[in-house]
Structure 1
Amino acid sequence: MNSTSATPRTGTRPGPAVALGLAILCIEGYDLFLLGVVGPTLLNHPDWDVNKSTLGLLGSLTALGMPLGSIAAGWLGDLYGRRIPMVVSLAWLSLSMFLSSVAGDLTLFAATRFLTGVGVGALIPLVTAFVSEAATPSRHSLQVGVTQTGMAFGGIISGIVGRTLLPEWDFHTLFLFGAVPLILVPVVWRVVPAVVRDHAATDVPTAEPGARVPARSASANRLSQLLSPQYRRSTLLFWAATFAGLVIVYGAGTWLPTLMVNSGYDLSSSLEFAIVFNIGAVVGTLGAGLIADRGLLKAATVVSFALAAVAMVTLSSPQPRPVLLLASAVAGFGALGTQALVNIFVAHSHPAHLRGTALGFSLGVGRVGAIVGPSYLAAVAALISSPRAGFYAFVVPALLGAVLIGLLRPARSAATIAQPDAPLAR
């Protein structure tokens, strides 16, 4: 057997890589979706004078920090390896969540949400690239997809914690739990290699820990490679599709519990919908990963965008509770599940030396959608008094995302992902 295909390109076995990536993104998901969980509580805060526009601004500030983290971490990870940027990002995220837990006024709280966004944005491309390089070729999409479900598991945990503790406990306490990622720093240092081995580039042995990755002449300007004729079309489409997907993810993450409260449900019931939303994301992403490994990644991504649109229309109308819970689960798949598929699509479509940068820029530029999403929903809610308007607002980016992905060429197959510089399938 060829050693290149038998040995993970990171030197890390797939099992530990997937487990670590899942744990990190689970903590990220908790930190990210917690704002939506405490949203109804913030709107009733006696001293902070939070309204719908303010809540949307808080969500947008969180997302505003993400492009900085995504682009910087993806680029630094490709140049210097994943380990050090991942350790720094975990420590940053822990500190920012601790600061959120002690923020005494709205201005300080808003500043800590921006800092949290930087940490969240940095970790997603680092984790996705690391697991992508360690994954078994024949199960690449499934293993990366399992990791991506960490975000949804974090959302489930935040919903359960919120439903258990709110409104009796001070909402600040929930943010203190988000400082947990600090305990993973020693694990990251042990499991994540100092450098990325790209077998297609050279047969150079792995550098010692702490050593700088030798620069490749082809990687002197990775952004220019992404915008070269070979990758330009797919790069721009990925950026636009990520924009559309993140409008849904961060809009729903910030607003779904509040929209359900506005539709007549109490806080406890609205958080049940948020929990089911994230359960749907977990189940859907795993199923989509299996489908993607059978060569249907593009089709699965288009269908999941379309399902998000259908689910949001269903949630907007009076339906029996079981139907609404099912629609909430489908919406979760269509939001978080779709973005996980887009990330897998990007990873499949680029060689190892560009993968972190491609993911970083896709998520970084696409984060404009995350910035726009919460405020977009707030603007719709302010202009149109009907609670249905917020749900209909999600339909436009969902349909746009389906069209954009439909314009892409198919990704490389799971079998050829093991060959980092293999051409894209037509």
Structure 2
Amino acid sequence: MATSLQSETRDSSPTRAAPTWVASLCWVIVLLDGFDLVVLGAVIPSLSTYEAWGLTTGTLTFISTLTLVGMTIGALTIGTLTDVIGRRRVLLFTVTAFSVLTLLCAVAPSPLLFGLFRFLAGFGLGGALPTALALVNEFSRKPGGGSASTMLMTGYHVGAVATAALAIVLIEPFGWRSMFVAGALPAVVLIPLMLRYLPESPSYLIGQGRHAEAEQIAKRHGIRPAQAHPHTAHHSVAEAANPVHALFSRPFLRNSIAIWVTSFMGLLLVYGLNTWLPTIMREAGYNLGASLTFLLILNAGAVVGLLISGSVANKIGPRTAAIIWFAGGAVFLALLSVKISFGIYILVFLAGCFVFSAQVLVYAFTSANHPPQIRATALGWSAGVGRLGAICGPVLGGVMLGAGYAVPWGFYAFALVGLLGAIAISSSRTIAELPPSAAPITRGREA
């Protein structure tokens, strides 16, 4: 343990570099999530014509779904494990596992093994996002705000755009396998940097009763030591032994349900729109070039929305900001049903600003309203349940299109999802609103 601590805090003087290293390294980790979002879609045209495998559309759809299922399980299980063994170890494990398995995808000899490697890679990566969110917020200069979460998630969209551009450069001359080699290569640099510069979370250490280590890391890295949560300040380290139970216990159950429902709605919108918006816009009468431009504008709006929503959340709180952002997304999605010319680009941009940022604000609220002992578990379950929405989003769009109701009812259906998200998050409560008499998160002895 002493060796680990020394490797995390090798410099002897306080520095502000650690929060920068944490944010930068976690940003790259989330960028890998953006890579994984796009890479299969980028290689599917090549896979579908890969004669050695003879894949059908049904098989490709099954492989795509396997990745999301893996991410769901990973977020639920690895996110919980983070609160037991620490943020640093989990991030090192998830990045290593994802990179190795992505490289194995590049050399997979059969569709069966390719699908298995995609599932396992999704499992590893699924646990990385909630862990990175927890760590970045704990090293943020404003832990209760939303800017740390929203800035981190810009990496997701940068990764998606960069992967699409990479596909244009690599696939035609080098084949579809080259994309998975490219996805594994960042680990060659990223993992050594994580070993050298990524510290353990003082909040996690305090939750484990390792106060001296936490104080030392906080001092050396120029951040304030984590403060105890008002409902857990008088309870022992044993509270962290079953963080999942805590989410179903007072005073967190109400917030847990609200967050899960909201996350489901949020990722349903993100994946549903990214999958079907170009097709729905074509059904609405726009040409193919314009419909593809809409997807680009939607994601450009997402990046701008993330930057704005973080500042807003810092001022009014992530819960209030999330309500506004889900409601705004619902309004602009409904307005997309109106057939207009140039103004439609503005509506799509604004829809992207609100829809994509809304889910990230849920993560910010989750991080700010759970104590260190269960923070990553809460984020993991939020992301995990949300991934179920990610699976349902493309299904909803496909059903509406198949039934011939995509225009205008597809827009209204997605708008209703946004409204339900606003209602769900509005039923949650911030820490300040929780009753002082609420029961502790688990049964444990007084410290």
Query: TM class, shorter-chain normalised?
Result: 0.7 to 0.9
- C-alpha contact 1:145 1:286 (8 A) present in aligned 2: yes
Verify: 1:150 aligned to 2:148, yes or no. Answer: no
Moved more, 351-360 or 13-22: 13-22
* Aligned counterparts of 2:268 and 2:46: Cα–Cα separation in 1: 22
Aligned to 2:12: none
Within 5 Å, give how 1:164-183 maps onto structure 2: 170-183=175-188
Match of 1:33 among 38, 44, 47: 38
Verify: 1:91 aligned to 2:111, yes or no. Answer: no
* CA displacement at 1:275 relative to structure 2: 3.0
Aligned to 1:22: 27
Match of 2:329 among 305, 308, 329: 308
* Aligned counterparts of 1:42 and 1:260: Cα–Cα separation in 2: 25
* CA displacement at 1:388 relative to structure 2: 5.3
DSSP 3-state at the match of 1:311: helix
* Aligned counterparts of 2:254 and 2:318: Cα–Cα separation in 1: 18
CA 165–240 in structure 1, closer or farther in 2 if over 3 Å, else same: same
Match of 2:211 among 187, 196, 204: 204
Match of 2:247 among 226, 236, 248: 226
Summarize deviations over 1:363-407 as a string: whole Å, max 9, x none: 223322123223333333333375655544422321211110111
CA 284–175 in structure 1, closer or farther in 2 if over 3 Å, else same: same
Moved more, 104-113 or 336-345: 104-113
* CA displacement at 1:228 relative to structure 2: 1.3
* Aligned counterparts of 1:167 and 1:259: Cα–Cα separation in 2: 29
* CA displacement at 1:287 relative to structure 2: 0.8
Summarize deviations over 1:106-147 as a string: whole Å, max 9, x none: 555444432332133111111001101111027842123211
Match of 2:346 among 321, 326, 331: 326
Moved more, 324-333 or 75-84: 324-333
Read off the aligned partner of 1:126 and give its amino acid letter. T
Q: Which runs of 5+ in 1 are unaligned?
A: 1-9, 210-214, 414-420, 422-426
* CA displacement at 1:98 relative to structure 2: 2.9
DSSP 3-state at the match of 1:351: coil
* CA displacement at 1:42 relative to structure 2: 6.7
Aligned to 1:362: 382
Question: Aligned pair count?
Answer: 397
Read off the aligned partner of 1:364 and give its amino acid letter. G
CA 378–174 in structure 1, closer or farther in 2 if over 3 Å, else same: farther
* Aligned counterparts of 1:102 and 1:268: Cα–Cα separation in 2: 35
* Aligned counterparts of 1:331 and 1:127: Cα–Cα separation in 2: 26
DSSP 3-state at the match of 1:137: coil
Verify: 1:299 aligned to 2:304, yes or no. Answer: no
CA 99–274 in structure 1, closer or farther in 2 if over 3 Å, else same: farther
- C-alpha contact 1:280 1:331 (8 A) present in aligned 2: yes
CA 138–408 in structure 1, closer or farther in 2 if over 3 Å, else same: closer
* CA displacement at 1:311 relative to structure 2: 3.4
DSSP 3-state at the match of 1:206: helix
- C-alpha contact 1:141 1:344 (8 A) present in aligned 2: yes
Aligned to 1:68: 73
* CA displacement at 1:239 relative to structure 2: 1.0
* Aligned counterparts of 2:65 and 2:334: Cα–Cα separation in 1: 24
Aligned to 2:370: 350
Read off the aligned partner of 2:194 and give its amino acid letter. V
DSSP 3-state at the match of 2:127: helix
- C-alpha contact 2:80 2:244 (8 A) present in aligned 1: no
Aligned to 2:436: none
DSSP 3-state at the match of 2:212: coil
Read off the aligned partner of 1:63 and give its amino acid letter. L
CA 380–232 in structure 1, closer or farther in 2 if over 3 Å, else same: same
Aligned to 1:192: 198
- C-alpha contact 1:37 1:271 (8 A) present in aligned 2: no
- C-alpha contact 1:163 1:268 (8 A) present in aligned 2: no
Summarize deviations over 1:257-289 as a string: whole Å, max 9, x none: 555566677776655433322221111111111
Within 5 Å, give how 1:265-284 maps onto structure 2: 270-284=291-305
CA 60–304 in structure 1, closer or farther in 2 if over 3 Å, else same: farther
- C-alpha contact 2:271 2:393 (8 A) present in aligned 1: yes
Aligned to 2:5: none
Moved more, 93-102 or 258-267: 258-267
* CA displacement at 1:296 relative to structure 2: 3.5
Read off the aligned partner of 2:374 and give its amino acid letter. L
- C-alpha contact 2:327 2:418 (8 A) present in aligned 1: yes
* CA displacement at 1:154 relative to structure 2: 1.5
Q: Which runs of 5+ in 2 are unaligned?
A: 1-14, 218-235, 434-440, 442-447
DSSP 3-state at the match of 2:122: helix
Output the aligned Cα RMSD: 3.5
- C-alpha contact 2:71 2:387 (8 A) present in aligned 1: yes
* Aligned counterparts of 2:427 and 2:252: Cα–Cα separation in 1: 14
Read off the aligned partner of 1:113 and give its amino acid letter. R
Aligned to 1:285: 306
Read off the aligned partner of 1:225 and give its amino acid letter. A
CA 196–259 in structure 1, closer or farther in 2 if over 3 Å, else same: farther
Read off the aligned partner of 2:137 and give its amino acid letter. S
CA 126–116 in structure 1, closer or farther in 2 if over 3 Å, else same: same
Aligned to 2:418: 398
CA 369–188 in structure 1, closer or farther in 2 if over 3 Å, else same: same
CA 25–257 in structure 1, closer or farther in 2 if over 3 Å, else same: farther
